[in-house]
C-alpha cells in the first residue's frame, strides 16, 4: 500500500537545496509574504441557517447560500438577509475577500419558468444587479440543480439547457465585469452547454461530491472498488471534455460524509465518530478514508485533512483554478479542514492572518561528542531547520552547551534538542524552570536517552517514561501507525507509513502506562519480531508522544543520515514544530 502525501507550502523551501548555515540567523525579512505562492481560489459556501461567522482569511470567495427565484419568477428572495449583511461586512477586514449570493440549491425551483420567458429573465437579471449593489456583493452564483431535470422536485423542461445559456447571457449583461458570474455544476457535467456559456461566466464550481451513496464512497479523488467510476478526477475530466478549461474549474470538497446503517445519510465532519462495531479504513487507490460496519460494508464515506491535502495537490498539478467546499460550518471548531485547504492553496501572496503572526525564536541544542550516527543526524537537522526558517520567518541560535543560556532560556519559544540533554546541575535547573514556566521542547532520539547513570529523576517525569530499557539495533526502517488522528501533530499524515532507518528505543516504564502521556505514533505490530541486539516480539511500542503537563514532543527519530529522506516523516516534524510553537506564542500573549 503506497501513500502519497504532498508537503505543505512551508516545505517547498526545503526542496530548494539551500546551503545550511550555522550560528545565529535573523530571518525577519524572510516572511511568508515574500515567497511566491500558488494564487488559487478557495470558494466557501456559507449558509443562511448557520450562526458560524467565517474568518475573513480562510478563503478568497464566499458563496452565501441561498437566494431563490421569487414567486413571480422575475426576481430574487434572500434567506436571512441580515446574515448576508454580516458576511459582506467581512470585506472591511479583508478587502480582497469576494462575496457572492448563490441562488438555488437542491429543491430550489422556479428556474425553468423564469428562464423560459425573455422578459422574466431580464427582470430577474436586473434584480440580481440590484441585490449586488444593495448588499455590496461581488457577483452572483447560480446553483440550478439541474436544467432539464426534476429530480429535486422542481419544474423542468427539455428547453432548460438552451434557456440556461440565455440566462447566463442576460446576467452577464446586467452584471458586467468585474462582477463575478459563476455556477455550480454536477460532477458528470450534464445539463449545461458549457461551450455556449463560457463567454459569460468567470468560473465553474464542480460538485465533486454526492457522486454515490453507501456502500460506495461519495467523494473519492480517484476511482476504485469503493466508488466505481465516480471520482473527483473523472469529474474534472468530464468538464474539460465538455469544453471548460482547467483554469476555470474549482474542485468541490465536502465537509460532510454520506452514510447509511450506523450513520445518517448526511453527517457533518464535526459530528463524525467511529462507532462501536465500525472500523476506519484508507483506500490507497481512491485516496480516501471510509468507515465499514462489522461485515466490512462501507457505511460512511467522507474527507479528512489527509485526503483534502491530496486533493489540493491534484488541484495544483492539474492547473485547476482552486477549490470549493460545502459548507464552512461543517468543520470542527479547530477548523482543521478549512486550514488544510488554506495551507495548501493560499498563504503566499494572500493577506492571511498567519502572514502577520508572531515570529518565534528557537534554540537548537546538540552535542558533537557523540556516536557518528547521532552527529550526522544533528548536522542534517540543523540544515533542515535552517531551510524551514526561510518560509516561517523565525530566528534561531545553535549551541552545544546550555551554559551560556541558563539566564535567558526565556527568550526562546522552543528548545530543539537534537541528540543531547543538559548534564550540569545549573543547566538542568534552568531547563526545568523553563519548561515549568511554559517553554517548548522538541526532543529527538538520543535527547531522551536517560539510563541509570543519568541521575535526573525530574527528566523521567518530564519525558513521561521510565529509564532507557533497550533498542532494536541495528537500525532499520519500520512501519509506524498513527494512534491519535485528531491531534495537530498527526494532521495530514496517513494512518500508517514506513519511516526511514532508525534504532528504536524502549523505556521501562513505558509512556503508554502514564495517564499524562498522549502517544501519537507507535511501531506497528506488523514489524514484529524486530531487532537483533534486543528482539521485540509483542506489545505497544511508542515512537512519538507528548506529556500533557508540558509543551513538548518527543520523537524517537534521529539516527544516521537518512532521516530527512521521507516526505511523510518530514511533515510530521514540521507539524510538531508548529504545534509546540503555536502553544508557546499563545501563552506569551495571555
Q: Please indicate whether residue 571 or residue 26 has the higher confidence score (pLDDT).
A: 571
Confidence of residue 390 (pLDDT cuts 50, 70, 90): low
Count CB-CB contacts under 10 A for residue 296. 9
Overall average pLDDT of the 71-83 stretch: 97
**Residues 451 and 562 sit within 8 Å (Cβ to Cβ):** no
- Tally of CB atoms within 10 A around 460: 15
Q: How confident is the model at residue 534 (pLDDT cuts 50, 70, 90)?
A: confident
Look at residue 16 in the predicted model and tell me its pLDDT. Answer: 26
**Residue 3 pLDDT more than 50?**
no
Q: Which residues contact 286 (CB under 8 A, 6 or more apart)?
A: 217, 220, 221, 222, 223, 224, 226, 227, 231
Tens of pLDDT along 340-376?
Answer: 999 889 864 444 444 444 578 899 999 989 999 999 9
pTM of the prediction?
0.58
Measured between alpha carbons, how far is residue 516 from residues 75, 428, 461 in Å? Answer: 60, 22, 10
Residue 14: pLDDT over 70: no
The pLDDT score that the predictor gives to residue 584 is 57
Q: Which of 212-221, 391-400, 410-419 has the lowest mean pLDDT?
A: 391-400
393: closest CA among 61, 17, 25, 21?
25
Task: Check residue 204 and give left, alpha or beta (phi > 0: left; psi -120 to 50: alpha).
Answer: beta
Q: How far apart (Å, rounded) are the C-alpha atoms in residues 164 and 197?
A: 8
What is the DSSP secondary structure assignment for residue 211, as one 8-state letter? S
Q: What is the C-alpha to C-alpha distance for residues 127 and 275, in angstroms, rounded to an integer?
A: 48
Specify the 3-state DSSP secondary structure of 554. strand
What CA–CA distance (Å, rounded) separates 542 from 505?
Answer: 9
Q: What stretches of 472-570 adopt beta strand conformation (E)?
A: 476-482, 496-502, 505-508, 517-523, 542-547, 551-555
**Among the ranges 19-23, 215-219, 355-359, 451-455, which has the highest mean pLDDT value?**
215-219
Contact 408, 361 (CB under 8 A): no
User: Tens digit of pLDDT for each residue in 206-217?
Assistant: 999 999 999 999
pLDDT > 90 fraction of the chain, expressed in percent and rounded: 71
- Higher-pLDDT residue of 390 and 284 is 284
Beta carbons of 170 and 121 less than 8 angstroms apart = yes
Determine the pLDDT at residue 347.
Answer: 60
Does residue 543 contact residue 522 with C-beta atoms inside 8 Å? yes
Nearest 5°: phi and psi at 389?
A: -65, -25
Amino acid at each position: 500500500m503506497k501513500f502519497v502525501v504532498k508537503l505543505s507550502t512551508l516545505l517547498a523551501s526545503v526542496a530548494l537545496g539551500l546551503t545550511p548555515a550555522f550560528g545565529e540567523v535573523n530571518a525577519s525579512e524572510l516572511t511568508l509574504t515574500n515567497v511566491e505562492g500558488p494564487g488559487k481560489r478557495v470558494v466557501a459556501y456559507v449558509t443562511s441557517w448557520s450562526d458560524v461567522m467565517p474568518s475573513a482569511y480562510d478563503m478568497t470567495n464566499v458563496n452565501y447560500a441561498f437566494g431563490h427565484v421569487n414567486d413571480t419568477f422575475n426576481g430574487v428572495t434572500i434567506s436571512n438577509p441580515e446574515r448576508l449583511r454580516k458576511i459582506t461586512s467581512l470585506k472591511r477586514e479583508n478587502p480582497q475577500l469576494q462575496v457572492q449570493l448563490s441562488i438555488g440549491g437542491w429543491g430550489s425551483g422556479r428556474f425553468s419558468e423564469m428562464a423560459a420567458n425573455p422578459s422574466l429573465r431580464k427582470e430577474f437579471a436586473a434584480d440580481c444587479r440590484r441585490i449586488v449593489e444593495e448588499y455590496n456583493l461581488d457577483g452572483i452564483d447560480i446553483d440550478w440543480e439541474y436544467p432539464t431535470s426534476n429530480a429535486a422536485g422542481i419544474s423542468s423542461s427539455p428547453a432548460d439547457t438552451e434557456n440556461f445559456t440565455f440566462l447566463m447571457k442576460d446576467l452577464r449583461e446586467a452584471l458586467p465585469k468585474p462582477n463575478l458570474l459563476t455556477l455550480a455544476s454536477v460532477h458528470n457535467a450534464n445539463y449545461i452547454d458549457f461551450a455556449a456559456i463560457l463567454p459569460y461566466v468567470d468560473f465553474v464550481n464542480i460538485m465533486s461530491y454526492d457522486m454515490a451513496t453507501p456502500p460506495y464512497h461519495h467523494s473519492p479523488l480517484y476511482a476504485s472498488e469503493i466508488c466505481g467510476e465516480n471520482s473527483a478526477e473523472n469529474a474534472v475530466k468530464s468538464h474539460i471534455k465538455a469544453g471548460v478549461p482547467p483554469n476555470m474549474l474549482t474542485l468541490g470538497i465536502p465537509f460532510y460524509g454520506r452514510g447509511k446503517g450506523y450513520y445518517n445519510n448526511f453527517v457533518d465532519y464535526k459530528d463524525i465518530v467511529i462507532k462501536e462495531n465500525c472500523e476506519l479504513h484508507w483506500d490507497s487507490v481512491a485516496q480516501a478514508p471510509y468507515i465499514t460496519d462489522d461485515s466490512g460494508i462501507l457505511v460512511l464515506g467522507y474527507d479528512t485533512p489527509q485526503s483534502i491535502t491530496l486533493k489540493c495537490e491534484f488541484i495544483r498539478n492539474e492547473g485547476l483554478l482552486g477549490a470549493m467546499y460545502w459548507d464552512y460550518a461543517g468543520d470542527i471548531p479547530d477548523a482543521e479542514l478549512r486550514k488544510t485547504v488554506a495551507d495548501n492553496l493560499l498563504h503566499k501572496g494572500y493577506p492571511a492572518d498567519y502572514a502577520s503572526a508572531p515570529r518565534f525564536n528557537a534554540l537548537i541544542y546538540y552535542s558533537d561528542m557523540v556516536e557518528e550516527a547521532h552527529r550526522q543526524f544533528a548536522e542534517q537537522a540543523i540544515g533542515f531547520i535552517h531551510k524551514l526558517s526561510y518560509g516561517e520567518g523565525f530566528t534561531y541560535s545553535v549551541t552545544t552547551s546550555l551554559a551560556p543560556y541558563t539566564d535567558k532560556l526565556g527568550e526562546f519559544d522552543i528548545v530543539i534538542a537534537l541528540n543531547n540533554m543538559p548534564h550540569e546541575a545549573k543547566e538542568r535547573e534552568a531547563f526545568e524552570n523553563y519548561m515549568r514556566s511554559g517553554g517548548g521542547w522538541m526532543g529527538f532520539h538520543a535527547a531522551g536517552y536517560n539510563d541509570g547513570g543519568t541521575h535526573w529523576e525530574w527528566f523521567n517525569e518530564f519525558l513521561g517514561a521510565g529509564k532507557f530499557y533497550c533498542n532494536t539495533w541495528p537500525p532499520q526502517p519500520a512501519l509506524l501507525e498513527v494512534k491519535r488522528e485528531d491531534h495537530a501533530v498527526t494532521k495530514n499524515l496517513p494512518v500508517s507509513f514506513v519511516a526511514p532507518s532508525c534504532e528504536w528505543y524502549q523505556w521501562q516504564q513505558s509512556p503508554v502506562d502514564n495517564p499524562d502521556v498522549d502517544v501519537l505514533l507507535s511501531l506497528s505490530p506488523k514489524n514484529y519480531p524486530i531487532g537483533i541486539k534486543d528482539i521485540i516480539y509483542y506489545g505497544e511500542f511508542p515512537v512519538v508522544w507528548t506529556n500533557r503537563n508540558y509543551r513538548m514532543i518527543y520523537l524517537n527519530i534521529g539516527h544516521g543520515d537518512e532521516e530527512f529522506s521521507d516526505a511523510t516523516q518530514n511533515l510530521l516534524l514540521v507539524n510538531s514544530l508548529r504545534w509546540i510553537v503555536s502553544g508557546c506564542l499563545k501563552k506569551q500573549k495571555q
